[in-house]
Amino acid sequence: MKIRSVTSLLAVIVLTVWGQCLAAGTDQQLKLKPGARGNLCLNCHNSFKEKLARKVIHTPLKKKDCSGCHNPHTSSHGKLLEAGTKTVCSLCHASMISAKPRSVHKVVADGGCMKCHDPHSSDNKNSLVKDGKALCFSCHKPLGEALAKVKYRHAPVESSCLSCHQAHASDKGPYLLKSEINLLCLGCHKSDKPLFINKHMNYPVSQALCTGCHNPHGSDSPGLLHKNVHSPVAKRMCNQCHMDASSATPLKVKSDGIGLCRGCHNDMVNRTFDKNRMHWPLLSRKGCLACHNPHASEVKGLLREPTAQLCYKCHDDTMRRQQKNISKHEPVVEGRCAECHDPHSSNFLFLTKKDHKFDLCVSCHDWGRHSTHPIGEKSVDPRNRNLSLGCVSCHRSHGTENKKLFFYKTTTEVCIQCHEKLTR
Amino acid sequence: MISAIRILVFLLAIAGSYNVHAAAVKFKPLAVAGQDSRNVPLKSPEGVACGPATVLVSDTGNGRLVRYSLVNDDLKDGAEIRLSQISYPLRARLTPKGEALVLDGKSRKIVRVAADNSFAGYLEPQNVPAPASIVTRSLTIDARGNIYLVDILGERLLVLDPNGVFTRQIPFPADSGYISDVAVDQQGAILILDSQKDQVFRAASNENTFKVMAKDLRNYLFYAVSIETDSRGRVYLVDQNDNGVILLGQDGAFLGRYLNFGWKPGQVFYPAQGCLAGNDIFVIADRDNSRVQLFKLQ
């Protein structure tokens, strides 16, 4: 025992002396003034006294080894860093993302370590720039604001987002969750408890998706149900759509596709089918459920996501084009797709609520009715005599790479498409 | 001098209308058909079906069909076909016997139109395995008259014999987005177009699963809605939302992009369907230009 202690002490002394010799050697090579190591930078960078007084100090700074991250002379990177801000941390810290992650925090994937961590020091654990939820909500603002207002908050959310989520990446679940959604929920909410069974009308909901009905963060409804609840769910009439709870397949729905919804929403379905053009997903196997959540949703109309996000999931090309546009139509920017389009069916191209060439535009843009330029059914488009002149003869309704939603770069170019004689 | 400049500008405009790539073909504007034989203009046509000497147009906005004769690389006649069973024709295809199968957008039924332009009944698929209901998004017909239906309800491709009797089905690939059209090549391989995820799947005539033929096409197109193949196995995709035609090789490799947006002849505006008349004339339902255009493939 004694021999071991002596050996350890000797090892420490040897390592310390060796380290100092190495440092001294380096200091000589760098021609540093005696005693300058670790203090030279701080002589000028006075503000670091305050940083050094904080509770958690990044190891290189603690050792006053500023050159661990910064080059004291020159650098191709800001703040004289040895590498770009997206990669400098990885010089010491191995990747926070495993080889096969299920989900990755975007800020981590983008190398934005410093958005959450202070590279010098902090009063918070892990050198975080803010503590706990405050840090998460500094980016996830809408969630933070919504949670501040709701009546009921999920208890783990009150304590920390990290109760359910990983900070960097998750190998086991979506949305950085520590495991699959249901596994995570059922870890606390035991599905074999009589209260759980009773609340769920004897249906084996542990096989379904908890977040289909519940908001895992918080809600104004008891039971943390989403803001908008489908009437049969609110009335606990699960068997209106599903097979009986005692049947062999209790979660199976009574009918596929639109047939199930038609049972109650018959008038609406009839109106939809009475039009010339159907939104094809409505006729797919998913039917109404392609866009709507049958149980509950945070979005009005039981939409699965806010309108724009939902539409762009399939109409990705529209979003791609929109990103290129300089002039953008306001409703498109604001994701109010349903302002012009009927998402179910229409008698018009593009499923617009009125003819997209003119009538639709003038429902908002009143000037269209007193424009001096010939426009309307009786005005023939000189470029193509099969067409009449409408707003879309010159403007692209979603937006373009040009001003005023014009198809062409300059006003002159727009005009001379028809007025060829005026071409100079 | 001014005339010479105008001619030069015109020639440049025509050249610009079919982008010249280092690809296998050029699209040379041949003819435009915007009216029927009685000078009634077409309105938002969404379908074209090509036969050896016929082009049948789904004149969607007018709720009718128009049958043109293909004579000397031009469309002649333009006989109107009005049937009470067709109020909003979308896709159309011709059988080897000259009959037409037309998908009606409103009823979503497939209407058989006889060679004499009369109603010849509905295509009612028989012996189709569950789900028995079908929602057809598009269709094609092979050289033997077999019928291929894109069934978006059953998420499968149905193959029927010329009488409409079920012969086989192939499920859509699990990772597909939105399957919108089908084509069959001369070897009997079935090609389906995934408009949402910008990919093409292929199943050889003896295969019962689709495999990716071309993926990651999003760099070349925005939203393709129509697929066609020629005798050399090359694939033509009509890109509705970016106003052009994409050509793929028989291995799915990108060969070129053709045509541009616009209202003038040679330009297209939301083209809806393309078909090949013979092997060297590409016919396009130029929907938002309310006309049909012919291009010579050179």
Average pLDDT for B126-130: 94
Characterise A216 by phi-psi region: left (phi > 0), alpha (psi -120 to 50), beta (else).
alpha
Residue pair B294/B31 in contact by the 8 Å Cβ criterion = yes
Average pLDDT of chain A to the nearest whole number: 89
| A-chain residue closest to B222, CA distance | A317
pLDDT at A209 over 70: yes
- Minimal Cα–Cα distance from B291 to chain A, Å? 8
Which of B7, B156, B198, B288 is the best mutation test for A, with the most CBs of A within 10 A? B288
- Residues of chain B in contact with residue A380, where contact means CB-CB under 8 angstroms, are none
Of all residues in chain A, the percent with pLDDT exceeding 90 is 69
Lowest-confidence range among A41-45, A77-81, A179-183, B90-94?
A41-45
- Mention every residue, 6+ apart, whose C-beta is less than 8 A from residue A38: A63, A64, A65
| A-chain residue closest to B196, CA distance | A314
A322 part of contact set with chain B, CB < 8 Å: no
A5 burial via Cβ count (<10 Å: 0-12, 13-18, 19+): exposed
- Mention every residue, 6+ apart, whose C-beta is less than 8 A from residue A193: none
Rounded distance, CA B33 to CA B67, Å?
11
Which of B290, B292, B293 is the best mutation test for A, with the most CBs of A within 10 A? B290
Sorting pLDDT into bands at 50, 70 and 90, what band is A215? very high
Q: What is the pLDDT of residue B24?
A: 66
Average pLDDT for A133-148: 94
Q: Tens of pLDDT along A49-95?
A: 888 899 999 999 888 888 889 988 899 999 999 898 888 998 888 88
Of all residues in chain A, the percent with pLDDT exceeding 70 is 92
| A-chain residue closest to B44, CA distance | A349
pLDDT at A19 over 70: no
| B-chain residue closest to A280, CA distance | B137
- Minimal Cα–Cα distance from A423 to chain B, Å? 10
Provide the 10 A C-beta neighbour count for residue A236. Answer: 12
Task: Give the H or E element holding residue A328.
Answer: strand A327-328
pLDDT at A24 over 60: no
Rounded distance, CA A284 to CA A290, Å?
8
Tell me whether residues A277 and B291 touch, CB distance under 8 A: no
Better-scored residue on pLDDT, A39 or A224? A224
All domains of chain B in start order, with CATH: 2-297 (2.120.10.30)
Strand A345-346 to B27-33 pairing: unpaired
Strand B291-297 to B27-33 pairing: antiparallel
pLDDT at A216 over 70: yes
Better-scored residue on pLDDT, A72 or A169? A169
Q: What is the pLDDT of residue A203?
A: 96
Both tokens assigned to A154: 């999920």
**Helices A316-324 + A307-314 axis angle, to 10:** 110
Exposure string of B93-131, with b = 16+ CB inside 10 Å and e = fewer, is bbbeeebbbbbbbbebebbbbeeebeebeebebeebeee
- Mention every residue, 6+ apart, whose C-beta is less than 8 A from residue B106: A275, A276, B87, B88
Task: Give the H or E element holding residue A56.
Answer: strand A56-57
If you write DSSP's letter for every residue of A124-158 in order, what string do you get? SGGGBSS-HHHHHHHHSHHHHHHHHH-SEE-HHHH
Q: What is the pLDDT of residue A268?
A: 94
Of all residues in chain B, the percent with pLDDT exceeding 90 is 88
Of B131, B135, B196, the CB nearest to A314: B196
B202 part of contact set with chain A, CB < 8 Å: no
B8 part of contact set with chain A, CB < 8 Å: no
> Nearest-5° angle of CA B271, CA B276, CA B278?
155
Rounded distance, CA B283 to CA B74, Å?
11
Residue type, A235: K
Task: For chain B, give the secondary structure using H, E and C.
Answer: CHHHHHHHHHHHHHHHHCCCCCCCCCEEEEEEECECCCCCECCCCCEEEECCCEEEEEEHHHCEEEEEEEECCEEEEEEEECCCCCCCEEEEEECCCCCEEEEECCCCCEEEECCCCCEEEECCCECCCCCCCCCEEEEEECCCCCEEEEECCCCEEEEECCCCEEEEEEECCCCCCCEEEEEECCCCCEEEEECCCCEEEEECCCCCCCEEEECCHHHCCCCEEEEEECCCCCEEEEECCCCEEEEECCCCCEEEEECCECCCCCCECCEEEEEEECCCEEEEEEHHHCEEEEEEEC
Q: How far apart are the first and last CA of chain A?
A: 101
Of A277, A284, A386, the CB nearest to B41: A386
pLDDT at A38 over 80: no
B155 part of contact set with chain A, CB < 8 Å: yes
- Residues of chain A in contact with residue B242, where contact means CB-CB under 8 angstroms, are 317
Sorting pLDDT into bands at 50, 70 and 90, what band is B22? very low
Q: What is the pLDDT of residue A49?
A: 84
- Residues of chain B in contact with residue A272, where contact means CB-CB under 8 angstroms, are none
Tell me whether residues B178 and A383 touch, CB distance under 8 A: no
> Can you tell me the ipTM of this complex?
0.88
Q: What is the pLDDT of residue A330?
A: 94
- Minimal Cα–Cα distance from B176 to chain A, Å? 12
Q: Tens of pLDDT along A333-368?
A: 999 999 999 999 999 999 999 999 999 999 999 876
Q: Long-range contacts for A142-151 (Cβ within 8 Å, ≥24 apart)?
A: A143/A217, A146/A217, A146/A218, A147/A217, A147/A218, A150/A218, A150/A219, A150/A220, A151/A219, A151/A220
Backbone angles phi, psi at A239, to 5 degrees: -75, 5
- Mention every residue, 6+ apart, whose C-beta is less than 8 A from residue B7: none
Tell me whether residues B222 and A320 touch, CB distance under 8 A: yes
Tell me whether residues B263 and A281 touch, CB distance under 8 A: no
CA of A50: how far to CAs of A43, A46, A72, B173, in Å?
13, 8, 21, 61
Sorting pLDDT into bands at 50, 70 and 90, what band is A403? very high
Instruction: Identify which of A298, A33, A267 has the alpha carbon closest to the alpha carbon of residue A143.
Output: A298
Q: What is the pLDDT of residue A423?
A: 75
Provide the 10 A C-beta neighbour count for residue B271. Answer: 28
Average pLDDT for B102-123: 96
- Residues of chain B in contact with residue A291, where contact means CB-CB under 8 angstroms, are none
Q: Tens of pLDDT along A255-270?
A: 877 888 998 999 999 9
Backbone angles phi, psi at B294, to 5 degrees: -110, 135
Tell me whether residues A386 and B135 touch, CB distance under 8 A: no
> Nearest-5° angle of CA B298, CA B283, CA B37?
125
pLDDT at A217 over 60: yes
Backbone angles phi, psi at A240, to 5 degrees: -70, -30
Q: What is the pLDDT of residue A3?
A: 60
Q: What is the pLDDT of residue A255?
A: 84
Cα dihedral A374, A376, A382, A384, rounded to 10, equals: 170
Rounded distance, CA A71 to CA A85, Å?
13
Tell me whether residues B34 and A349 touch, CB distance under 8 A: no
Beta bridge partners of B66: B57, B80
Q: What is the pLDDT of residue A28?
A: 67
- Mention every residue, 6+ apart, whose C-beta is less than 8 A from residue A52: A61, A121
**Helices A141-149 + A132-139 axis angle, to 10:** 120
Looking from the CA of B23 toward its CB, the CA atoms found within 13 Å total 23
Looking from the CA of A167 toward its CB, the CA atoms found within 13 Å total 15
Backbone angles phi, psi at A215, to 5 degrees: -90, 115
Q: State the DSSP code for A297.
A: E
Residue pair A56/A127 in contact by the 8 Å Cβ criterion = yes
Rounded distance, CA B225 to CA B47, Å?
11
Both tokens assigned to A290: 């392609």
Provide the 10 A C-beta neighbour count for residue A295. Answer: 22
Residues 45-84 of B with CB under 8 A from A: none
Tell me whether residues A385 and B105 touch, CB distance under 8 A: no
Of A275, A284, A317, the CB nearest to B241: A317
Residues 350-409 of A with CB under 8 A from B: 381, 383-387, 407
Tell me whether residues B153 and A417 touch, CB distance under 8 A: no
- Minimal Cα–Cα distance from B215 to chain A, Å? 15
Rounded distance, CA A76 to CA A135, Å?
30
pLDDT at A37 over 90: no
Both tokens assigned to B252: 């799915």
pLDDT at B13 over 60: no
Sorting pLDDT into bands at 50, 70 and 90, what band is B5? low
Q: What is the pLDDT of residue A213?
A: 95
Sorting pLDDT into bands at 50, 70 and 90, what band is B249? very high
Sorting pLDDT into bands at 50, 70 and 90, what band is A6? low
- Minimal Cα–Cα distance from B288 to chain A, Å? 9
Q: Tens of pLDDT along B138-187?
A: 999 999 999 999 999 999 999 999 999 999 999 999 999 999 999 999 99
Provide the 10 A C-beta neighbour count for residue A195. Answer: 9
Sketch the domain layout of chain A as residue ranges: 313-422
Which of B106, B138, B179, B242 is the best mutation test for A, with the most CBs of A within 10 A? B106
| B-chain residue closest to A321, CA distance | B222
Average pLDDT for B68-96: 96
Rounded distance, CA A319 to CA A416, Å?
30
Lowest-confidence range among A15-29, A291-305, B4-18, B65-79?
B4-18
